[in-house]
Amino acid sequence: MSSTTQLNFSGKNLQGRSFRGQTLIGADFSNADIRGTDFTDAILVDANFNHAKAGLTVRHRFFWMAIVVLLSLLLGFATVFGLVFSGYLLFPFSLTPRHSPNILAAGIVLILFTLFVFSIVRRGLQTALSILFLMGILLGAVLGGLTGTIAGVASGIVAVTITVILATAATIAMVILMTLAITIARKLAALLFIAGTIMGSLIGATAGVSIGATVVTVIARTATIPSTRIGAIAGAQLAAATGTTLGIAIAAWIAHRVLIGDSRFTWVKKLITKITVLGGTSFRNADLTNATFAYAILKSTDLSNSTLTRTNFHNSRGIDQARTDQTILSHAAVQALVVTHRGAQQSYVGQNLKGANLIGADLRGADLTDADLNGATLEEAWLEEANLTKTQAIGANFQGAHLTGACIEAWNIDSATQLQGVICDYIYLRNSQQERRPSSGSFAPGDFTELFEEVIQTIDLLFRNGIDQRAFNYSLHQLQIENEGMALAVRSLERKSNGVVVVRVDVPAESNKTQLHAGFLHHYDLAVRAIEEKYQAQLQAKDEQIILYQQQQADWKAVLAMLANQKQIANQQTPKAEQQKHRKWVCLHIGVGNLCTGFPVTLQIGNEMQSRLMQYTKGWLAAAPELSTLYEQWQSAYRKCLKANFRLDVPDTQITNISHHDFFLECNQAASHLEKQLNDWLNDPDFRPIKDRMLEQLAPSDSIRILLQTDNPQLRRLPFQLWDFCYRYPLAEIALSAPDYEQTASLRPPNPKAKILAILGDSTGIDLQSDQAVLAQLPNADVTFLVEPQRQELNDQLWKQSWDMLFFAGHSFSQSDTAGGYIRINPHESLTIAQLKHALRQAIAQGLKLAMFNSCDGFGLAHQLSDLYIPQTIVMREPVPDRVAQEFLKNFLMGFSQGKSLYQAVRESREKLQGLEDHFPCATWLPVIFQNPAEPPLNWHDLQKV
């Protein structure tokens, strides 16, 4: 069973299940019942919870309802009992009949209740309770004063104070229980709560009178209770009944305000949420990156401390009753925005929106000053006239967003901020619609992206006294050396009105710009001082000459000429925008597995402008152990059927008496079986979603680089160029790449010609003069030939000069794909890549972009070179006949030097070998590209730098 099937829980009843700590990447829980399900600490990246139902299970709902009813009975009983019982003990002096004690006691309760309600509405619950306590003391004194005795005043204060304390505690308890009841089961639970409270009150009143009378009798040692005390108790009963009724009313009102999000009762809502998530669905500490909860019910769900990067909550329900501590959803305004995507004209000043999923959100006119949008996705969001002043947007995705009229003063973006396809007619660089860009008219499509991506990937160097060209060039060169050959180039030069010259220098996107800026200024100051000291020693009138010298250096024509030259080359090298749209890259990352169990596959598709169009993580290559056997059968037949000389330095496969014709037929039959099985495997239903998405995103007219990213040696050997997908896409070519890679920081001195080091190794039994003749005829190339060199000679050449391309022709072989390969550089000496490691690393740092081994069995060589992160390598997968090697080299160099991309040139020259397959079977299978994914695609102009 594939992993895709195992992670499909769509529509299933998962109540009470535990997935604690499990890895569920890409799992499908859409329309599932996940009430009470435990996802604590689970990895749920890209999981689908659309229309899922979370929260309390039915069992837990009944449990909480029972708790509410039980507590309401206890609450009603305890409150009324306490009031009536205290009336017997603490108010021994009754009022005269004319004072109407029953009515007066109830009146005092009404007064206190009125003040309480007024205070709640105006000030909130906490302030209202304080006012209630103070007024209770005052009114208790008034009530006791009517007895005409000091003891009456004291007992009145104590009695009413106790009443207030009990009423306060009862009110808070009623609010909590009422809110809990409504949260759990709406009206039904609320009615049960009210009924339980009233019933408890009646029992409490009866018990209070009975027990109070008994206690008073015992204390007074008389069987007769004075009528004054009975009158006081009657007043207490009426007051208790009145208070209970009004308490229920105020509790219901506060519960309503809590549930609609009244900020005055936030603490009540937080408490209720913590209670109701007990027994509910738990995503505590879960990784929900890129997960989706569209239209899901999230009531009574624990999302506390979960990772919610780009998590989609659009149109989810009940999230206001979920626990969201330590997430961006803990703030009500942010919560409402991520759910509704409606935030037009709203204020989000200083709000934490880090990683928020706001695709298509309406934020027109919104104030996002100082907001944290780092890592957020705002694809196609409406941000027209929004205020993005000082907004943190590192790594944010604004692809296709509408930014016309927005203010971006001092916003913070970096190279990871995606601005492709931003729709913007104009922008403001300062608040209050100041500093409009462009100053007049509108941006053309793509202008906004070009303008601000340019700013991201540059450092600005200011010169107030002119530019010393020699000091400038020296400083730039030193900076490159210190940073291991980092690519630095002058992008623009601008002279300001006050005489200041600003030079903008391109730097890698991931570089430390502050450090580079400081380093350049340090070297520049040292260089200028050294030059000045030289002139001081040589010239008699040193002061005048230094001033004159600096003025002359202020003439920055040389720098402008250098800049113009760079732009001219860039225009020649850079494809037009329209062409770029049709240049795509595809990465098939094949995870850990083998042909007996299968492999997980992740698909990524983007264009050569580096924008990622899509990613799909649910791919699966099914088990296919027969492929390994079929490849070995083909390999054996292939090696037997070739009688031409190989560029191979291993003993020939033993040949039996079977005729060459039979070997030829055997090889073709094995090739046919392998090709059919390979395509059946790649068209398997488990892998079909990958292919479907490629068909959706790619057009037959696109130029496509397909990177097969794996370190599995069996997969690398398979001829993936036979995939029927490649027949549909004539401009597609497959390359192999390692899972581990990094960009090389290379620096090559200016040279208008491509510098090629051609190693012609041991030529025993093969013709290398044809290779030499083809290389010698290359246009705009400076080729250095090393014919059967000694190891020291080869090593010295790699160290001494900067090379663009390394070429080897001769005998080679691989022990295994991972153990490494050998090249025979002369009849007596063979070398491994490891034996040239330091020299090759230096060559790569100095600009080596391509290594080509027009020799046999080069997989071991390519594997070792990939560990050095060389940008591109071309090898032969199997022993290669001399004629095939010569034809491939001739056709490849002809197409590559005439402007075709490396991939197009390889595919075209590889397919031209089909004309030789009547003598050399499967010749089109042999050439293979190994690609460093961190490096850009290569063309011939990249090898010519000035």
The predicted-structure confidence for 47-72, as pLDDT tens digits, reads as follows: 999 999 988 777 777 777 777 667 66
Helix, strand or coil for residue 200?
helix
Question: In sequence order, what are the residues at sequence separation of 6 or more whose Cβ sits closer than 8 angstroms to the Cβ of residue 269?
Answer: 179, 258, 259, 261
The model's confidence at residue 110, banded by pLDDT at 50, 70 and 90, is low
Phi, psi of 872 (to 5 degrees): -140, 145
Phi, psi of 470 (to 5 degrees): -65, -40
Higher pLDDT, 464 or 286: 286
- What is the average per-residue pLDDT within 754-782? 88
The model's confidence at residue 242, banded by pLDDT at 50, 70 and 90, is low
- What is the average per-residue pLDDT within 308-313? 94
- Residue 67: predicted pLDDT: 73
Q: What is the pLDDT of residues 683-734, one digit of tens each?
A: 888 898 898 888 888 888 889 999 999 989 889 999 999 998 888 888 999 9
pLDDT at 121 over 70: no
pLDDT at 756 over 90: yes
Contact yes or no for 36/56 (Cβ under 8 A): yes
Burial of residue 538 (CB within 10 Å: 0-12, 13-18, 19+) is exposed
Q: What is the pLDDT of residues 865-895, one digit of tens each?
A: 888 889 999 999 989 998 899 999 999 999 9
Give the DSSP H or E segment for 601.
strand 599-607
Q: Which residue has the tokens 């949008």?
A: 373
Query: What sign has the CA pseudo-torsion 95, 96, 102, 106?
Result: negative
- What is the average per-residue pLDDT within 79-86? 56
The model's confidence at residue 784, banded by pLDDT at 50, 70 and 90, is very high
The model's confidence at residue 573, banded by pLDDT at 50, 70 and 90, is very low
Q: What is the pLDDT of residues 594-637, one digit of tens each?
A: 988 899 999 999 887 666 778 888 889 999 989 989 999 998 88
Q: What is the pLDDT of residues 534-567, one digit of tens each?
A: 655 555 444 554 454 445 444 444 444 554 454 4
246-255, 800-809, 931-940: lowest mean pLDDT where?
246-255
The model's confidence at residue 4, banded by pLDDT at 50, 70 and 90, is very low
pLDDT at 86 over 50: yes
Q: What is the pLDDT of residues 368-410, one digit of tens each?
A: 999 999 999 999 999 999 999 989 888 899 999 999 999 998 7
- Residue 653: predicted pLDDT: 41
The model's confidence at residue 648, banded by pLDDT at 50, 70 and 90, is very low
- Residue 572: predicted pLDDT: 47
Task: Find residue 77's DSSP bridge partners.
Answer: none
